[in-house]
Structure 1
Amino acid sequence: MPVPSPNLYPDFNIVRLSHVEFVVKDIAASRAFYADLLGLQITHEDENEIFLRALEERGHHCVILRKGELAEANVLGFKVYSEEDLDRAQAWFARRDLPTSWIERPFQGRTLRTRDNFGVPLEFYHKMDRLPSIHQKYRLYHGVKPLRIDHFNCFSPNVDASVAFYNEMGFRVTEYTEDEDSRMLWAAWMHRKGGVHDMAFTNGRGPRLHHTAFWVPTPLNIIDLLDLMSTTGYLANIERGPGRHGISNAFFLYIRDPDGHRIEIYCSDYQTVDPDHEPIRWDLKDPQRQTLWGAPAPRSWFEEGSAFAGAGAVESILKAQPIVAP
C-alpha cells in the first residue's frame, strides 16, 4: 500500500509533540536516571510525581514521572496552534467514535484527552506554563545535555492503518519501510515540526510505546553519556548503539530507564519543512535501513516496549521480519 498523499489542511493544527507521562515504580531511581544521569531539569516535584524539561524548552515539562505500581506509559502529549484547534480536535475524534474528555492538568491550560484508532492515549493542549530561558545557562548542562524532546515511536499492529489515521491529522510521511512481498508498511516516520518525525510507527504487537527520543547537540554527547553510564552503575541499561540510522541519518543510542522504558538519544537528522518533500522508501531487506553502520539491533529492540495505560495490545497482521542480531 503506498503512503497517502500529505494532508496539508487538516481539520485541526498540531504544532509538535510535547510530553510523555511515565508511570514508574521507584520515583527516586527514576529521578536519578532522568535528572542526574541524563540531565533533564526538574521543574516541579513532590513525593508522587516529577516534572522535567530539556535545556532549550520554554514549556514547563516534556517528561512527567508518576509513581505507581505498574510501569507503563500514561499518555503522549501534543501542542496545538490555538484554543479553537482544541475544540476542532474534540469534534474530529468524536466523529470517529473515539472517547474525548476535558481534563485538569497542572501547568497546562485546557487539555483534551482522547485515544487514537488503536487506543494510544493522547492529550492535546494549547497553553502550557512558560518558564525563563535556560539554554545559555551552561552551568546547568550535565549528563547527555538534552536540548529538547524529539519524537515518539510506537509499535502498531497495522502500520498502514496508523499512518492513514495520523495523516488525516496532518502528520506527513518522511521515510518508510515497505515489505516487498505484501506491499504493506513495516514502519513509517511522520512529522509536524519539520524534522524527520514527531511520531513513528514500527510493526509489532501493539499499541505499545517503543521509545521516546531526546535531541542532543553532537554525537560526542552520546559518547560522554556512554562513559558516564559504564562507570556509574548503568552499564546494563545500554541496549543498542551507538550507531547511525540509514533512515533519518541520525546518530543514535538506545538506553532503558530503571522501569524498562526505552529512551533514544538522537542527533543529526535533517529538515523536512517543504510541503512537497518526497518520502524516502526503504526495502525491509535492506540491512542499512535501520543501521547505516553499527551492530544490528538486538531482539529486545523488536519485541519489548512500554504498555499504554488502558490499551490492550494485539499481535500485528504483518509477519515479515527484518535482520535481528544473534
Structure 2
Amino acid sequence: MNNREPIRDIAHLHHIELFTAKPNESLDFFRNLLGMEVVHSKGQSVFLRGWGDQQLYSLKLTEAKQAGLGHMAMRTFSNHALEQRARDLGQSGLGIGWTNGDYGHGKSYRFTDADGHNLEVFYEADKYVTPAHLKPGLKNMPQRFSARGASVTQLDHINLFSSDVDADSIFYRNQLGFKLSEQAITDEGKQTTAWLHVTNKSYDLAISLDKSGEKGRFHHAAFKVESPEMVLRAADVFLDNGIFIEAPPNKHVAGQTMFVYVYEPGGNRIEVCSGGFLIFSPDWETVTWTPKERKKGLAWGTPLPATFHTYGTPNTDK
C-alpha cells in the first residue's frame, strides 16, 4: 500500500446473491431453518432479510444450474462516493459498467475483483418498512425477533475463494478501501487467507486460497446470531432437520467468532456465527499468523475438516 489518503467510500456489505439448483429447498432452509423473512420475489429470485438487518434485504437467492456466488453488493456513503469508485474501477481494467439497479436499490456500477468474482457498488437504496405483524416493541429495532429456526440477526461477512489471495487482497484495499486486519501466510510470505474490513468489525470479507486451479469460486456466507448459545441452538436445528454439519460448533482463532458450518440444500456453505472483536484504532497493525501457528488448529486446538480448505461452489469435484 502507498501513503495516499485512505479510500472511505464504502459503507458496508449490503447483500449477496447466491445461486442454487434447488430453489425450493434452499428457500426453505433460509426461511425456516435460518429464520429469515421473504421481502420480495421477482422472476427466478427471492429476496430475504434477517430480523436485525438494517437494510431492506441481505440475501438474493436465485435459481441457476449450479450453486455459487451470483454477485456481492456494497453500498457507498453517498452518490459522490459511488461516482468516485466507478471512475477508479473503470480505470482499473476490471470495470463492467453501469446498471439501472435491482429490486430495492438504484443504479449500480458492476465490476469484478482480480479473481473474477462479480461485484457491484450503489448508493440509493429503499428503506425497510416494517409490516404490522413484525413491528418490534422497541422502535430502534428494524423488526421483532424472529423466533424461528436459528433466528439469524443479519448477514455478517462472506468468504471468497481466490487463486491469488495477495492480488485480491491488494485489489480490495487499493480500489475499495478495505483494511487488512489479519492474514495467514506461507513460510515464503504469500497470503493464504486475508481478513479485511470496511466497518469496525474484525472483518467483513475473508479471502482464502483456492488450490483447485479454478477462479471466482465461493467459500461461504456467514449469518450472525445474538450469542454463542444461539450457535449451539443452530447446530441442533440443523441436526433435527437432516442438514449436513461440516464443522460443529467451535471457535476461530482469527476474528474469535464462535461458529457452525453447514451446506444449504443447493450446495453453498453457510456459517452461523456469534461474537468476534471490534477494531476502533485507525492505526491497527495487521495480525499475521504463521504456518506453525495455523497448524495448532482452532482456538481450542481441534482442526477444521479437510473439506473446509477444498470445497467451494461451483463444486469442481468430478
The TM-score normalised by the length of structure 1 is 0.86
Deviation at 1:19, TM superposition (A): 0.8
Return the alpha-carbon distance in structure 1 between the equivalents of residues 54 and 181 of structure 2. 27
What does residue 170 of structure 1 align with?
Answer: 177
Q: Deviations over 1:139-159 (max 9, x none)?
A: 633222211111111111111
The residue matched to 1:285 in structure 2 has which SS?
helix
What does residue 127 of structure 2 align with?
Answer: 130
2:252 corresponds to 1:245: yes
What does residue 50 of structure 2 align with?
Answer: 54
Return the alpha-carbon distance in structure 2 between the equivalents of residues 70 and 288 of structure 1. 33
Q: Indicate how the Cα distance of structure 1 residues 289 and 190 shifts in structure 2: closer, same or farther if over 3 A, else same.
A: farther
- Aligned residue type for 2:153: L
Deviation at 1:278, TM superposition (A): 1.5
Deviation at 1:131, TM superposition (A): 1.0
The partner residue of 2:192 within 183, 186, 192 is 186
Q: Indicate how the Cα distance of structure 1 residues 20 and 139 shifts in structure 2: closer, same or farther if over 3 A, else same.
A: closer
The residue matched to 2:51 in structure 1 has which SS?
coil
- Unaligned regions of 5+ residues in structure 1, if any? 314-326
2:240 corresponds to 1:231: yes
Q: Deviations over 1:77-119 (max 9, x none)?
A: 1111111122111111111112322223111111111111221
Q: Deviations over 1:8-55 (max 9, x none)?
A: 522x61011111111212221111100000011111125622100111
What does residue 203 of structure 1 align with?
Answer: 209
Q: CA RMSD in A?
A: 2.1
Deviation at 1:69, TM superposition (A): 2.2
Alpha-carbon contact 2:37-2:50 (below 8 Å) kept: yes
- Aligned residue type for 2:291: L
The residue matched to 2:292 in structure 1 has which SS?
coil
What does residue 102 of structure 2 align with?
Answer: 105
What is the correspondence of 1:298-309 to structure 2 with a 5 Å cutoff?
298-307=305-314
Return the alpha-carbon distance in structure 1 between the equivalents of residues 184 and 282 of structure 2. 21
Return the alpha-carbon distance in structure 1 between the equivalents of residues 5 and 92 of structure 2. 20
2:157 corresponds to 1:151: yes
2:265 corresponds to 1:258: yes
Alpha-carbon contact 2:235-2:248 (below 8 Å) kept: no
What does residue 66 of structure 2 align with?
Answer: 70
Deviation at 1:267, TM superposition (A): 1.4
The TM-score normalised by the length of structure 2 is 0.88
- Aligned residue type for 1:166: Y
Return the alpha-carbon distance in structure 2 between the equivalents of residues 7 and 195 of structure 1. 23
2:102 corresponds to 1:118: no
- Aligned residue type for 1:60: L
2:190 corresponds to 1:213: no
The count of aligned residue pairs is 302
- Aligned residue type for 1:148: Q
The residue matched to 1:59 in structure 2 has which SS?
coil
Q: Indicate how the Cα distance of structure 1 residues 170 and 8 shifts in structure 2: closer, same or farther if over 3 A, else same.
A: farther
Return the alpha-carbon distance in structure 2 between the equivalents of residues 288 and 224 of structure 1. 29
